């Protein structure tokens, strides 16, 4: 199991979008993925599961002893609509005061033998570095840093690198820095060259482009690789996970396409069943002893049940 902390000293650089997109891509490629929302803004929880306000959550794990926290961690896991992709939600009142032991996540992962259930764990963090981020760092094997290419973002990475070396030199280091919201402007290219001069081997070759499709998918709680697979955003993220995790690009593409088609078929079936159930309940036939199951079976035999997905919007 690889545990990755998604971190940046600056806010608003796309950490949550990065975490969700990478997690979904890995899940569609056949890996078992857990994403942990370690941010009181709880954007990951809100986007992935609109009904996220529940307990236990990450806050309950932090406030418990190892044995109890292990049970709470397993109880906190929520299955998403996407197979192989689970999350642990956050809480609006999550704060550093909830943590008594910064090693609690690492201890709980080991206590639960979490590696038996997941191939990847991604921890989405709030900006800055305090004890909340430290808990993620202590549990992580590596750090991914999504960043915009701007003056404040570049300085935030420099500050992050300085603090990691000074205060957390016994933790994992930055593995990859991922340029985000890339437009290819002259100013962005200048900042990109500045980052490469400082952290050459850590900068990914794949840059995530600016694309309004991210906001649309988040707002509508849609999966980028199912509903917008042929967008430039999806294409770059699939290329990125190939680079980050050394995956076979062709095989990943085939698996993602298969999952997309199966998911759309499933959505079409579900809509059909709901429509037919409503029609059956609204207009019952008093002269026939007909059950809903029999009614739907009749529709299937007549060929009215859809078995293919819908085209992308």
286 and 145 belong to one structural domain: no
pLDDT tens, position by position, 131-178: 999 999 999 999 999 999 999 988 989 999 999 999 998 888 899 999
231 and 255 belong to one structural domain: no
**What pLDDT is attached to residue 169?**
86
Task: Please give the residue range of the domain that contains residue 126.
Answer: 2-247
Q: What's the rounded mean pLDDT across residues 242-265?
A: 89
Domain boundary among 247, 269, 304: 247
Q: What's the rounded mean pLDDT across residues 118-128?
A: 95
166 and 232 belong to one structural domain: yes
**What pLDDT is attached to residue 301?**
62
123 and 267 belong to one structural domain: no
pTM above 0.85, yes or no: no
Gap between the Cα atoms of 165 and 158, Å rounded: 11
Are β-strands 85-88 and 120-125 bridged in parallel, bridged antiparallel, or unpaired? unpaired
197 and 211 belong to one structural domain: yes
178 and 291 belong to one structural domain: no
From the number of C-beta atoms within 10 Å of its C-beta (0-12, 13-18, 19+), residue 146 rates as: buried
**What pLDDT is attached to residue 102?**
93
**What pLDDT is attached to residue 273?**
78
DSSP letters along 220-246, please?
HT--HHHHSTTSHHHHHHHHHHHHHHT
pLDDT tens, position by position, 5-39: 999 988 888 899 999 999 999 999 999 999 999 99
Q: What's the rounded mean pLDDT across residues 40-65?
A: 83
Band of residue 200 on the pLDDT scale cut at 50, 70, 90: confident
Per the structure, the count of domains in the chain is: 2
CATH number at residue 21: 3.40.50.300
pLDDT tens, position by position, 58-89: 999 999 999 899 999 999 999 998 889 999 99
Half-sphere exposure of 23 toward its Cβ, with a 13 Å CA cutoff? Answer: 33
In this predicted structure, the answer to whether residue 257 has a pLDDT above a threshold of 80 is yes
Domain boundary among 247, 265, 285: 247
């Amino acid at each position: 199991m690889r545990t990755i902390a998604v971190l940046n000293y600056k806010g608003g650089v796309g950490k949550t979008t990065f975490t969700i997109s990478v997690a979904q891509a890995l899940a569609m490629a056949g890996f078992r993925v857990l994403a942990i929302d370690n941010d009181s803004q709880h954007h990951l929880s809100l986007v992935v599961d609109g009904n996220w306000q529940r307990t236990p959550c990450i806050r309950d794990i932090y406030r418990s002893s190892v044995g109890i926290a292990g049970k709470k961690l397993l109880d906190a896991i929520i299955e998403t609509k996407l197979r192989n992709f689970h999350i642990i939600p956050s809480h609006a009142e999550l704060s550093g005061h909830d943590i008594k032991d910064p090693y609690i996540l690492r201890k709980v992962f080991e206590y639960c033998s979490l590696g038996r259930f997941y191939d990847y764990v991604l921890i989405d963090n709030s900006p800055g570095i305090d004890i909340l981020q430290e808990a993620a760092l202590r549990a992580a094997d590596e750090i991914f840093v999504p960043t915009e290419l701007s003056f404040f973002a570049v300085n935030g990475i420099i500050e992050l690198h300085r603090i990691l070396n000074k205060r957390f030199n016994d933790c994992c280091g930055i593995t990859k820095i991922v340029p985000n919201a890339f437009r290819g402007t002259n100013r962005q290219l200048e900042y990109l060259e500045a980052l490469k001069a400082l952290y050459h081997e850590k900068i990914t070759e794949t840059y995530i482009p600016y694309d309004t499709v991210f906001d649309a998918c988040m707002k509508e709680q849609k999966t980028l690789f199912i509903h917008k697979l042929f967008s430039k955003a999806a294409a770059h993220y699939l290329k990125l996970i190939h680079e980050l995790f050394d995956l076979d690009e062709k095989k990943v593409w085939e698996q993602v396409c298969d999952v997309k088609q199966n998911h759309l078929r499933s959505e079409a079936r579900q809509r059909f069943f709901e429509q037919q159930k409503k029609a059956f309940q609204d207009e019952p036939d008093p002269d026939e002893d007909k059950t809903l199951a029999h009614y739907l079976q009749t529709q299937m035999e007549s060929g009215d049940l859809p078995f293919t997905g819908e085209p992308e919007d």
